[in-house]
Amino acid sequence: MHDGGHTTRPDTLTVEEPLEIRVAGKALTITMRTPGDDFDLAAGFLVGEGVVRAAADIRSIRYCAGATADGGNTYNVLDVVLADGVAPPDASVERNFYTTSSCGLCGKASLDAVRTTVTWPVGDDPLVTDPATLAGLPDELRAAQRVFDRTGGLHAAGLFDADGKLRCLREDVGRHNAVDKVVGWATRGGELPLSGTALMVSGRASFELVQKAVMAGIPLLAAVSAPSSLAVDLAAELGLTLVGFLRGTSMNVYTRPDRLGLQPS
């Protein structure tokens, strides 16, 4: 309906379906996600929780057959088998209920539970980029969003090098899922840690997105919207450069401005 008139036509909508992730047959979490790149999503999720650190830590990922009453496969249940010697997820990681597409942090027992041991400290990462390069990332991200153009309803996460070249982009109805898909892509490709890179996300920068970036060894996280106070606190604690409100040539640099050639005032 527009200006008092109306028309009837089909509309393309974003797909949102549950994905249950199991480890060795035991349910770990159920997240609402946009189908696609599910293996990357599972691998990235496990990296963010400190369960795996490399492709070799995962023996296999497969869809569970017979997920429906009639024996069909809905492709909404994944089972991950870890390699020998890789410890299973700690009980505090388990989220035996739905995680909404807007919030991956819900269900954590406490903030202490998400301060997972960091495998690759990012505080000493030598990444240096300039504000002009960073200012171009939102346009690069938007230009690469194929599904968003049809639906207008997806978040995106993009991995860039120091020169602003896009290495990987993933879209999902949940911003944390989009990040997991990027990290999972890098994990399965043997590219962790992601030193010298920047992660650009649509929407806001939450505590959990900072955690996911740090766990993958990414030293810079930028968002088009605001960070949370906990996101800033964690970024400062771990040495991550956190940028918010990145729009055009304007941005707020909350932590480690030295990576952009800036000095704290």
Out of 64, 103, 106, 168, which one is annotated catalytic?
103
- Residue for token pair 């991995």: 159
Say whether 103 is catalytic. Answer: yes
Strands 241-247 and 220-223: parallel
Q: Which two tokens stand for residue 257?
A: 């401005």
Determine the residue type at 222.
A
Cα separations in angstroms, 35 against 4, 18, 41, 227, 237: 36, 9, 10, 27, 35
Determine the residue type at 160.
F
Q: Which residues are designated catalytic?
A: 103
